[in-house]
Amino acid sequence: MSESLQRTVEALLFLASDPLSEQELAEATECSAAEIEAALQALAGQYAEGRRGIRLRELGGGWTLASDPAAEDAARRLFSRRRVATLTPAQAETLAIVAYLQPISRPEITRIRGVSADSAAATLLERGLIEEAGRSQFGAVLYRTSTQFLKLFGLRTLQELPDAARWDPTPEEQAKLRERLLRAGEARAGSGAPAD
């Protein structure tokens, strides 16, 4: 039973182009969640790194088969295309803001970055890394990251992203920054601001 379930699950993973959740697998095979979990564990062992050209990965809220990076050079020669073009700094920043603050609208992204994010957002949308997620109360389109994003960045869920606050400067650094800003502001106010 368990061996045949493993083979069935393997076949389903082969056929699906999107990650399959354990629940989807359980429903399709008419088995319990525990049985599916056991089958996936066994398969993961068989597909462990270094054993096959294919790996079983838990990504984007489900399980999916992926190629071993060792095959990348040959794959690139075969398909003559990079799997995903690298992101420009603007695209990466926009993607980070969407990933952490989703759902979020373009005007908000622009406000945080201080420069327009329209072209970057359009490219991310085109590549399927972000997708529309309804509209804000003011009618602006909201964006969220897609399953494709999780797959490409090797993430099981969004919760795997580290807390963004870890990149904040220390309180001492912040205090120094604040002081510098204030001094710059006073220098400007002293030089040319109108008295009224």
Partner 1 sequence: MCATGWASELLAVGPGRYGERVSIATLDLDLDLFSGPFDLLLTLILREEVDLMELQLADVVLAYLDYLETRGDLDLETATEFIVLIAALLELKSRLMLSTEDEEELLDIEPAQAAEELLERMLEARRYRAAAGHLGELLQAEEGVRFREAPLPANLRKTIAQPTDGSQNPEILGQALGRLLAMPPAISLRHIGLPRVTVSERLAHLRGLLRRGRFSFDEAVGGADRMTVAVTLFALLELYKRGEATWEQEESFGEIAVHASAVQAPGYPEAVAG
Residues within the interface to partner 1 (CB under 8 A): 14-17, 55, 57, 64-72, 75, 83-84, 86-87, 89, 92-93, 95-97, 99-100, 111-114, 151-155, 161-162, 164-165, 167-169, 174, 177-178, 181-182, 185-186, 189
CB of 117 to partner 1, least distance (A): 11
Nearer to partner 1 by Cβ, of 40 and 120: the residue is 120
Nearer to partner 1 by Cβ, of 6 and 110: the residue is 110
CB of 105 to partner 1, least distance (A): 15
Nearer to partner 1 by Cβ, of 23 and 174: the residue is 174
Nearer to partner 1 by Cβ, of 38 and 100: the residue is 100
CB of 159 to partner 1, least distance (A): 14
CB of 71 to partner 1, least distance (A): 8
CB of 34 to partner 1, least distance (A): 26
3-class DSSP string for the chain: CHHHHHHHHHHHHHHCCCCECHHHHHHHHCCCHHHHHHHHHHHHHHCCCCCCCEEEEEECCEEEEEECHHHHHHHHHHHCCCCCCCCCHHHHHHHHHHHHHCCEEHHHHHHHHCCCCHHHHHHHHHCCCEEEEEECCCCCEEEEECHHHHHHCCCCCHHHCCCHHHHCCCHHHHHHHHHHHHHHHHHHHHHHCCCC
Nearer to partner 1 by Cβ, of 2 and 27: the residue is 27
CB of 40 to partner 1, least distance (A): 17
Nearer to partner 1 by Cβ, of 75 and 122: the residue is 75
131 forms beta bridges with 144
d(CA 64, CA 44): 11
Evaluate whether 103 touches 91 at the Cβ level (below 8 Å). Answer: no
